[in-house]
Structure 1
Amino acid sequence: MKTFTNPIISGFYPDPSVCRVEDKYYLVTSSFEYFPGIPIFESEDLVNWKQIGHVLDRPSQLNLDSTPCSKGIYAATIRYDKGLFYVVTTFVESKTGERRNFYVTAEDPAGAWSEPNWLVGAPGIDPSLFFDDDGKVYYTGNRVPPNGPLYHKHVEIWMQELDLERKELVGERVSLWDGALKQIHAQEGPHQFKRNGYYYLVIAEGGTGFTHSVTIARSPSLSGPYEVCKMNPILTHRHLGKKYPITNVGHGDFVETQHGDWWMVCLASRPYGGPYRNMGRESFLVPVIWEDDWPVVSPGIGRVELEMERPKLTEKKWSSLPACDSFDSPILDQTWISIRTPRDDFWSLKDRPGFLRLKAKQETITEQVNPSFIGRRQQHMSFDIRTKMTFYPQEQEEAGIVLLQNSDFHYRFVKTMNKGNSVIQLIKRENGIDTIVTELKINAGDIYLKVEADQQNYSFYVAIESENWSLVSENIDGRILSSDVAGGFTGMVMGMYCTSNGKKSETVADFDWFEYNPVSY
């Protein structure tokens, strides 16, 4: 038996949605306050995925100014019809602000994608599109029931026709279903598909935490009424306990292969060092069979496992990404992301060829702004990162490495000038309060920085000569980098940072390279 390893996309890539076009598969995930938005991947075997771009890669498409942490772009759905790709998603402005839904289109999934088509009168989050056999298109989302909620976070799934020529919702809005698990709450993430004469509606219930789940209903009519599957939830791990190696499974999307087999992508997390999910919610794959026109997910097992039998598709591996980015390309690799929409050219690969230059912006990573930060997602429980930096700070300016959960929970491992002394500082920010864990004098313009993560134990090193490391701090607690401590929906992002801490400055930090390595202890 040939197997594959879950997750299929590791690290902070949640809420996967998938579609097939002939013998290729395309997958998108949420991106929240990070820019570019909505990473998009391609695969030929559902197991090996290659990122081919971002759906929202222009400031004109995505205004994340002042967007709080863990808001922004929520669960997207990708679909294809008549030569055109569609991605529909929600922009969440703030904790209490408006949820605005829109869709974009592209002939090539690698881009460029269109400007947003904003949909007026589309409440709720996690929208989806369904293309029916008669050529009509339908939008599905969630909303508070018209007669009011019956319990906390009680919402329902609704549907309305979408006129693609007018780019607006038309006709009657229909209530479809308020879920299988009454009072479990948070009915969301609807996806529709048709099989063997039935219309299926699959949703997420129970919230995106430990009680997350996938449920399903069907009807011979798109508008219902919908028959609830008696096997619901068709997938969950909440009965397995919080110590199970895969938790908070949910938010599924179905896909049929060209050979007639069915699979589901879903989100889940891999906690470690206790119930801590530093990598956030990741994308997993699980098989599906059909019995009596109902799906059986992971038949004979009933759960998502780290190793499972692979799909009956010809394996297609992609070239692995290099561990070290030497910044020799004129284009920044699509692995890298920034926080919120960039409004100025705070980074450059051209000012000093072979280096990533970050300008010391006044904005800081402790604010809900666009700081001078370029980062990548954590994808392994244990890892080490290292970089070489050239930086000559003025008083209170800082540059270096940041391990970021959000603006109020992170570590900054930076070089700065403090009272006339050039120093290395390890700064722990917890609950919005900075604490200097360690300060060490250093008198060199070029320095090397390294962080080693042994699961939840982080150690920090500095060097003036390559690989001649000096320990700065050892076994620092990494649990503050988990959403279980910090709140929110994102995983840890790590990268390079430079700030002038509120004053105008011409100072820059040049990073010669950045290396990320998974580690097995």
Structure 2
Amino acid sequence: MQIQNPVLPGFNSDPSIIRVEDTYYIATSTFEWFPGVRIHASKDLVHWNLVKNVLDTTAMLDMKGNPSSGGIWAPDLSYADGKFWLIFTDVKITDGNFKDMKNYLTTAETIEGPWSEPVFVNGVGFDASLFHDEDGRKYLVQQTWDHREYHHPFDGITLTEFDTNTMKLKPETARTIFSGTAVKLVEGPHLYKINGEYFLFAAEGGTIFTHQEVVARSKSLNSMSFVVEPDGPFITNFDTPNSYLQKQGHGALVSTPGGEWYYASLTARPWNHDNESATDPRGWSTLGRETSIQKVEWDDAGWPRVVGGHGGQTFVEAPQDAILTDAPVDHAQHDEFNDTILDINWNTLRVPFTEKMGSTGTGKLTLVGQGSLSNTFDLSLIARRWQAFYFDAETKVKFNPYSYQSMAGLTNYYNHSHWSWIFITKNDDGQNVIEVGENKGGLRNGSYTSYLRDNAPVIPEDIEYVYFKSENRKESYTYYYSFDSENWLSTGVTLDAAILSDDYVVREYGGFFTGAYIGLAAVDYSGYDSTAEFDYFDYKELGDHKDINGTISWQKSESRFY
């Protein structure tokens, strides 16, 4: 078998990988999306199944009002003393000089839970991980934040002993063990003890195209005793602009039962418009930061090296002792909403799906209109990740809007300021019509455009349901509608997919770290609770490497220019 990267396509970033007996687990960041912390499992490192969303109640996680790309940053999963340990950060401020955050710890005897009520740990910095030393001591290892304008904000990696009797840190033991290299922005630390030495893996360069991972080692945990790996960095794509995989860096190390080593890293697969340079901009990563796995070998001096060079490989040799894992061939989803609990692939924003948003079951999803798609407090939206460049998504909706302030339909969504949708609303003549709206760029909350304002299709009075479809073709996507599910009509609106990427948004302001979603939403900012009924949702992947006519245009290649 071969590992084909990315192993977790679509927004699955900052992987923390471990092995418990013959099973590998990866925990990934979820930011403002709820539930928090996704965990995938595999026995072969090739095929993966989503098995758990850990933080699934407001008692465990409440992100109401959190800024976009705040919330859950870089969870750390470990296993010791017969149980799983999960450290996670909830970031409350993302821009400016401050990064107010809280780090928490939860544990469980099995990956499915129940997981314990989170214990507050500290707010020193984000990307915290828990190191279990051979002598039984435990340490929190974390990025350290410095708000002072005359210091660099990434103030090294701090190590603090954790007392399992009191379930609290010992702040008097805190010390900086690594300040990073001249690349700066040191974060995402994971600590290991291998062959009697401590190895610290840490990310640098920011989670953009300058991203990298460095390794340092020491015989002790004393302050500033770590020496950086020569001829590094350990992994980066900064100097491999033609590689299919980009942005590799932040991640974690794991060993197989047979003694082989692998490294799980975040990655991205940018693409360019035909009229753009292939290297500047390096591209638009609409699927967000994904997860790749690289094989690791140890050189004669005892340093870890990525097999094939620090740029990594798309195709990687699987472990010799891999156990074939049954997993779906793609990420297709068809939901007729027969269950009273949302499918594991659905997410909401900041808070869980409750009766305030709507209900599901008996063959329909009901959404009660609340705030606009720019609202960070009250929003009725369920959505799932884009996990392929080429896919179709469609739904069937019944909705009788109160006014133009009432809307319901199908959305392609990145964050509160970058999204679009096709929806039912009411025009000034009191007719139910179909509109396409897009919000993007400009101000902090974006600028809105109504594309069909002069010729919005009127819904015939005898039509109860309207069908919506989004055809996504890597660089762009187009909305369609139908009154009978057979004859599809184009809205004539084709939108630039790049706008729904980290790379586009970060050029305007702040740092953004998620990925594009497709979903269902209802809005009624008039406050009159107009309610929409969705009959089904269908997401069908056409393959990452097919052109608009379905012709395969990419085979086994290490180049992203396919």
TM-score (norm 2): 0.87
SS state at 1:211 partner: coil
2:398 corresponds to 1:390:
yes
Given the alignment, which residue of 509, 516, 526 partners 1:502?
Answer: 526
Q: CA deviation at 1:124?
A: 0.8
Larger strand share, 1 or 2 = 1
Query: Does the 8 Å contact 2:229/2:303 carry over to 1?
Result: no
Distance in 2, matches of 1:410 and 1:398, equals: 14
2:459 corresponds to 1:442:
yes
Aligned position for 1:157 = 157
2:107 corresponds to 1:105:
yes
Given the alignment, which residue of 410, 416, 423 partners 1:407?
Answer: 416
Distance in 1, matches of 2:498 and 2:166, equals: 49
Q: CA deviation at 1:370?
A: 3.4
Stretch of structure 1 that moved more, 257-266 or 270-279: 270-279
2:450 corresponds to 1:427:
no
Which residues of structure 1 form unaligned runs of 5+?
none
Q: Measured at CA, do residues 251 and 463 of structure 1 come closer, stay the same or move farther in structure 2, by a change above 3 Å?
A: same
Distance in 1, matches of 2:384 and 2:396, equals: 17
Aligned position for 2:44 = 45
| Corresponding letter in the other structure for 1:407 | H
Query: Does the 8 Å contact 2:146/2:153 carry over to 1?
Result: no
Post-superposition CA distance 1:410-456 (Å, at most 9, x none): 10211111111111111011121111112222222201100111111
| Corresponding letter in the other structure for 1:416 | T
Post-superposition CA distance 1:295-347 (Å, at most 9, x none): 44332333222222222212212245653122223321110000111484112
| Corresponding letter in the other structure for 1:347 | G
SS state at 1:349 partner: strand
Distance in 2, matches of 1:227 and 1:270, equals: 32
Distance in 2, matches of 1:32 and 1:166, equals: 29
Stretch of structure 1 that moved more, 93-102 or 449-458: 93-102
Aligned position for 2:327 = 318
Given the alignment, which residue of 118, 121, 132 partners 1:119?
Answer: 121
Residues 26-425 of structure 1: pairs in structure 2 closer than 5 A:
26-95=25-94, 96-120=98-122, 122-144=123-145, 152-170=152-170, 171-179=172-180, 181-182=181-182, 184-223=183-222, 225-241=225-241, 243-274=242-273, 275-292=283-300, 294-312=302-320, 313-319=322-328, 322-342=332-352, 344-345=354-355, 346-350=357-361, 353-361=362-370, 363-396=371-404, 397-419=406-428, 420-425=430-435
Q: CA deviation at 1:53?
A: 1.4
Stretch of structure 1 that moved more, 232-241 or 305-314: 305-314
Distance in 2, matches of 1:15 and 1:435, equals: 34
Distance in 1, matches of 2:222 and 2:88, equals: 22
Which residues of structure 2 form unaligned runs of 5+?
274-282, 507-511, 548-562
Query: Does the 8 Å contact 2:212/2:235 carry over to 1?
Result: yes
| Corresponding letter in the other structure for 2:118 | P
Post-superposition CA distance 1:466-495 (Å, at most 9, x none): 221011124322221112222311101110
Q: Measured at CA, do residues 311 and 370 of structure 1 come closer, stay the same or move farther in structure 2, by a change above 3 Å?
A: farther
Distance in 2, matches of 1:51 and 1:262, equals: 23
Distance in 2, matches of 1:517 and 1:344, equals: 27
Q: Measured at CA, do residues 217 and 282 of structure 1 come closer, stay the same or move farther in structure 2, by a change above 3 Å?
A: same
Distance in 2, matches of 1:318 and 1:68, equals: 34
Q: Measured at CA, do residues 310 and 343 of structure 1 come closer, stay the same or move farther in structure 2, by a change above 3 Å?
A: closer
Post-superposition CA distance 1:174-205 (Å, at most 9, x none): 210111x31x1210000001111111111001
Q: Percent same amino acid at aligned positions?
A: 32
Q: Measured at CA, do residues 233 and 149 of structure 1 come closer, stay the same or move farther in structure 2, by a change above 3 Å?
A: farther
Aligned position for 1:478 = 497
Distance in 2, matches of 1:216 and 1:150, equals: 27
Query: Does the 8 Å contact 1:357/1:508 carry over to 2?
Result: yes
Stretch of structure 1 that moved more, 447-456 or 336-345: 336-345
Q: CA deviation at 1:210?
A: 0.8
Query: Does the 8 Å contact 1:366/1:407 carry over to 2?
Result: yes
Equivalenced residue count is 511
SS state at 2:247 partner: strand
Q: CA deviation at 1:504?
A: 2.3
Distance in 2, matches of 1:344 and 1:299, equals: 47
Distance in 2, matches of 1:294 and 1:511, equals: 58
Post-superposition CA distance 1:138-197 (Å, at most 9, x none): 111121579x89864442111011012211111411210111x31x12100000011111
Distance in 1, matches of 2:342 and 2:335, equals: 9
Query: Does the 8 Å contact 1:74/1:125 carry over to 2?
Result: yes
2:465 corresponds to 1:456:
no
| Corresponding letter in the other structure for 1:42 | A
Query: Does the 8 Å contact 1:192/1:201 carry over to 2?
Result: yes
| Corresponding letter in the other structure for 2:537 | F
Distance in 2, matches of 1:145 and 1:62, equals: 25
Stretch of structure 1 that moved more, 43-52 or 279-288: 43-52
| Corresponding letter in the other structure for 2:526 | G
Query: Does the 8 Å contact 1:401/1:449 carry over to 2?
Result: yes
Q: Aligned Cα RMSD in Å? A: 1.8
Q: Measured at CA, do residues 237 and 150 of structure 1 come closer, stay the same or move farther in structure 2, by a change above 3 Å?
A: farther
| Corresponding letter in the other structure for 1:258 | P
Distance in 2, matches of 1:51 and 1:484, equals: 27
Query: Does the 8 Å contact 2:22/2:257 carry over to 1?
Result: yes
Query: Does the 8 Å contact 1:81/1:131 carry over to 2?
Result: yes
2:536 corresponds to 1:513:
yes
TM-score (norm 1): 0.94
Distance in 1, matches of 2:145 and 2:519, equals: 39
Query: Does the 8 Å contact 2:99/2:145 carry over to 1?
Result: no
